[in-house]
Amino acid sequence: MGDAGTIQVPRASRRRNVPRRANAAGSKRRRELLLVWVFLVPSLLVFFLYRVLPLIWNLVLSFQEFSLFGATRFIGFDHYVDMWNDDVFWITLRNTLLYMASAPIGIALALAVSLMVNSEVRGRNIYRTIVFLSYPLMTVAVGIIWRWLYDEKVGLFNFVLRSLHLVDQPLPFLQSFELALPAVLLANVWQILGFYMIILLAGLQNIPQNLYEAASIDGASRRQQFVRITLPLLRPAIFLAFVIGIMTSFTSFDLVYVMTQGGPSHSSELLVNYIYRAAFELSKVDYAAALTVVQFLLLVVLTWLGNRLSGGDAGAVESE
């Protein structure tokens, strides 16, 4: 079949005395670039329409005073100034960061479960299905049942705690300022474990079997195989899980909405919940837009920071 260099060279390049190889490679690269873009377009189009444009809409709106039924006028940075002085903003921001900081727990748990389920234990199909069961369940259902589990008077958790005499007074999980957010977090981990699990399992499938075989022959112990083969090659999947964990903590609207509606007194309210409430319950779509912009910028900064801290190559999500 020959190599690219011996293909018929365009006459123009011959005239210009450009070395044959480079020019053929140049057009090949252009073709490749075109192809890459053609492949990217469908996805990029969806994101452009439903993420980028809305973000721009929010950005423009954040500098305006918007009235549903009247005129809109430009007010510059007023909303951002209001935000600075808004306690609720700072409370919800803090809650969101706390939520985010506990994402690693869920991921670590999912990693442990994935590894166990991927080993040769009998009945792993059943275990795998059981762990996954919670993810396709509608979040409203998850919220409702966990609300009952946490109920101070009639909930299962308090029933167990009291039966085992671990507490004398029942714990008002969802009405407690300290416990409400962790309570929602636990329900979230319960639901999302299956999701992390299949991401990590898919990552485990990418590790070639014969590496383990070769290592076995070379006398490596299971533990060494795990540390030297599994973990490093699982790094992209783990990094992806982390990124997802951080994103979902900023976008995990439904569970808080159903379980506590941000209560009591904003102690379990996430920034995304505040944005929704500001837009639709307090009828301040313009302020909500400003909050959206701030949240987005914050996430960009956090991701950039995370990237730098983890070695700078996006944890091999974009390696090779």
Partner 1 sequence: MMSARPRTAIAPARRYPHWPIHVALLLVSFCMLVPFYWVLKTSLTGENIFVYPPSVWPVAPHLFYYVDVWYYIPFARYLLNSVMVSGLAIGANVVFNAMAAYALTRQFRGRGLIITLLLSCMMIPFQTTIVPAYLITGKLGLLNSYLGLALPTFSTIVCIFVYKASFDAVPRSLIDAARIDGLSELQIIMKIMVPLSTSAVATNVILSFIWSWNNFLWPLIVVRDPQMQTLPLGLSRFLTYHENTTGALYAFCIMVLLPGIVLFLLAQKEFIRGLTSGATKG
Partner 2 sequence: MLQQGSPHRYRTLARSLVAALCLATLAVNPAVAQQKKISFLTWNISDQEELFKEWIAEFKKLRPDVDVEWLDKKGPEFPTYYQTQVIAGTPPDIINTQGGLWLEYAAAGGMVDLTPYLAKEPDVRRRFNADYLGNWTYEGRNHMLPFYISKTLLFYNKTMFKEAGLSGPPQSFDQMMDYAAKMSKGDKTGFMTLNFDWLYWPLFRMNGVELLTPDLKKASFNTPQAVKVLDALTKGTGNGAINKISWTGRWVEPNGAFAAGNVGMLHAHSPAFFFIRGQAPWINADTLGVTNVPGGWATPNSHGLGISKGSKQPDIAWEFLKMVTSEKWTERFSARRKVLTGNVASDKTTLDKMKVDDPLAAAVLQTQLEQTDKLTGNWRLANDARVKDAFYPEIQNAVLGRKTPAEAIKDAEGKVNRVLGR
Closest CB 91 distance from partner 1, rounded Å: 18
Report what 263 binds from partner 2, partner 1, none; CB cut-off 5-8 Å by kind.
partner 2
Query: Please, which of residues 60-119 interact with partner 2 by CB under 8 A?
Result: 67-70
Nearer to partner 2, 261 or 319 (CB): 261
Joined together, the tokens standing for residue 266 give 């904003």
What's the burial of 146, exposed, middle or buried (CB within 10 Å: 0-12/13-18/19+)? buried
Name the phi and psi angles at 294, rounded to 5: -65, -40
Query: Please, which of residues 257-276 interact with partner 2 by CB under 8 A?
Result: 257, 260-261, 263-266, 276
* CA distances (Å), origin 163, targets 148, 151, 160: 17, 15, 5
> How far apart, in whole angstroms, are the C-alpha atoms of residue 74 and residue 61?
9
**Does residue 23 interact with partner 2 by CB under 8 A?**
no
Report what 265 binds from partner 1, partner 2, none; CB cut-off 5-8 Å by kind.
partner 2
**Does residue 285 interact with partner 2 by CB under 8 A?**
yes
Closest CB 53 distance from partner 1, rounded Å: 6
Nearer to partner 1, 35 or 177 (CB): 35
Joined together, the tokens standing for residue 104 give 């690693």
Report what 52 binds from partner 2, partner 1, none; CB cut-off 5-8 Å by kind.
partner 1
Nearer to partner 1, 80 or 296 (CB): 296
Q: Which residues bind partner 2 (CB under 8 A)?
A: 67-70, 147, 151-154, 172, 174-177, 257, 260-261, 263-266, 276, 279-285
